[in-house]
Amino acid sequence: MDNETPAPDPADNRLPGLLQKFDEATRTLAQAPGFAKPAKLARVLDTARRVMLQPGGCAAIEERSQALEEAGLYHGSDWATPQILVPSLTTHSLKSPDMTTVVIESLSELRLLAVARGDYLHPLISQEQAHHYLSQVLAMNLALLFTGPSEAERETQGRLAKVPRLLLQHLASRIGYEHVIDRLIEEIWRILHQRPIQVDSVKQMITQIAICQVDPDIDLGTSGQGADRLVSSLYGPTQSCREDPGVAVFADRLRAMDSQALQLEATGFARAMHDTGLVSPYHAVLLRHLMGQGDHLIGEALGLSSTGRDCLLCYRELVKDLIREAVHPTTPQSVYGLALMLERGILYQPAVAPSLWRQLALPLSPCSRDRLFMAYGDLASPRALLLEGVLCMLGQPLGVGQGNNPTCQSARALSMWAFNDPDYLLQMVAWAARDDEIIMHFEGQPISSRESLSGVAGELPMDLDAVSLLVVPHLDRIYAEMGRRCVDRGGDPHRWVNPEFHGWWSGRGFRINVDVGTGLLVDLEDFLRHFYASYHPYYNGNQPLIHPQPAGIAVTDSAGRFIGWHAITILRVALDPEDCMRVYFFNPNNDSGQDWGDGVTVSTAGNGERFGEGSLPFEQFASRLYIFHHDPLERGELADVSAEELDRVIDHIRRSWGAERLPENQLQADPGPQRG
């Protein structure tokens, strides 16, 4: 951990000073003659961007929107005529890599919000028109409300990607979610099907739905169907807490229940938790109460199968200590993590239980405590927050997300260790949280995260789960240092870095279809034949994938244009329910369901996916692959792959990221680190 991490300062608020600068920039723009206004815009827009990134910044600009327009901000642009603006075009403007476009679009929406609320009587657009327009904008940009930036947004927008999200959250709070409630519910379920570890943003959206339901001033009409299951999962999973009485009242009710009533409570809570992947604070209260009632009720409250129950009985004292330390109303997701960890049966691995005992007694360094406080506040102790994170990662290894950070390699490593080598993950957590240092070896030589130079991420990531929050900065620096030690070698550094960074199970065979020096596609047909022979059951003797394997994809946007290189994990290859051969993979991005253009849309449910997996038909996945590892001693049949099948894959590549990477073309950008 970086020893120079500043201590948290809750009183730090830059908004007043930024608003003063913004007002000055607006006055300067207003006073400038028409021909000179373009030269004054840059200062206004840059200051506006910084204001909107602050808490309360969007509201402050909303109040100033009339003065801003009268100063001439929109003069000569499409935004000068708001009555003809098209809501569907905002999806492109808000995701633009151009700061000017994003900020002007955001300022225009805030202006129309002031009009819609009656605070600004606009000469060109009525209050009703503005309200209708903003409702459409919210509906068309729904995903931005509660999902993190995609690879495309991170690569093209960087920190600017936060501006449209903060804008839309402000619009939704002002306009009202009832206008987009059905699509909101649909999107929440789509995210929950992926079972992410971090669910705070989803819980916030469900809370907004609950507020809409009980607000007498909001008429949902026929919208909001299907919301009850989401709301009740958090605020009233069973009859005894249906009216959301508060945890103290619920605890009193539990003390008055007999064993049969407690059994019903336990069953109801478990059903709600496994249906949604969300855990109510009431569930944590129940589980703590059941510790004195018998192991069978604990198993019932966790919703365990025979595998999980056997694991619970074998390690009952460890499980009870984990409940005492990690399960609180402020850390309810630990219940789901604990249940899934027991279901995986990983406690039977000899090193895991002792590692968890060590985790229970682990002293946290001051730096670790400060980081957890900065990210999560003081509602729960740092120890409880970290234990919750550990349980969730061990129970949901495919729920790890990289946040809005270019650290896909580190997030992938954490997921892979939690999936394949959980005691190694726990060792990493102990080193990072206790010692503020991780030491890994590269070809026999130690690499210290404390002594390494900066990593891929330009600043310390904060929007992560508790385990990633403490471990990723170390892994990021080590990964970058491994890459630096390969800089003088010919070829792609991932050939050497991935097996050393991720683990011995990463295949030593390595294939890449891009020339590192020129960035042009090379040996494409040979690359694809080897991929089919290594991974496709029809060409590798029907050999299932034994260990998850690191791979690299060329990420494209919805138009099929190249965005950047990204690290993923190939988990398995199998037939889906429609007998289509699919590749099931883990994407450390916070939402695997993405449109990569040319008909390539990643599926996360409905095609045989397990929680946390994304999938594509084999041909489509191969068309976005540029790096893979394999066991060179297990060769499949290269010649058996038909030319017609390879041609279909190559055509996908030619129509997307390979369009300008064909040997006859010159290329500007070379493949570099997989930055996510």
DSSP state letter for 542: S
Structure tokens at 259: 């064993």
> Smallest Cα–Cα separation from 501: which of 563, 441, 444?
441
pLDDT < 70: residue spans in the chain: 1-13, 146-148, 150-153, 217-223, 458, 664-676
DSSP string, 511-535: EESB-TTT--B-SHHHHHHHHHHHH
* pLDDT (0 to 100) of residue 671: 55
Give 490-522 pLDDT, tens digit per residue. 888 999 999 999 999 999 999 999 998 888 999
Give 428-443 pLDDT, tens digit per residue. 999 999 999 999 999 9
Cα separation, 521 vs 513, in Å, equals 6
Helix, strand, coil: what percent of the chain each, to 5? 55, 10, 35
Cα separation, 459 vs 73, in Å, equals 33
Alpha helices in 238-381 (DSSP H): 247-255, 259-276, 281-290, 295-302, 306-314, 316-326, 333-344, 352-360, 366-376
Structure tokens at 179: 């206008």
Residue 183 backbone phi and psi in degrees, to 5: -70, -30
Residues 6+ apart with CB under 8 A from 518: 667, 670
* pLDDT (0 to 100) of residue 59: 94
The domain ranges of the chain are 15-179, 362-485, 505-654
8 A C-beta contact, residue 539 and residue 581: no
Confidence (pTM)? 0.82
* pLDDT (0 to 100) of residue 201: 82
- Say how far residue 142 (Cα) sits from the centre of its chain: 16
8 A C-beta contact, residue 257 and residue 265: yes
H/E element, 630 = strand 625-630
* pLDDT (0 to 100) of residue 7: 40
| HSE, side-chain direction, 13 A CA sphere, residue 491 | 10
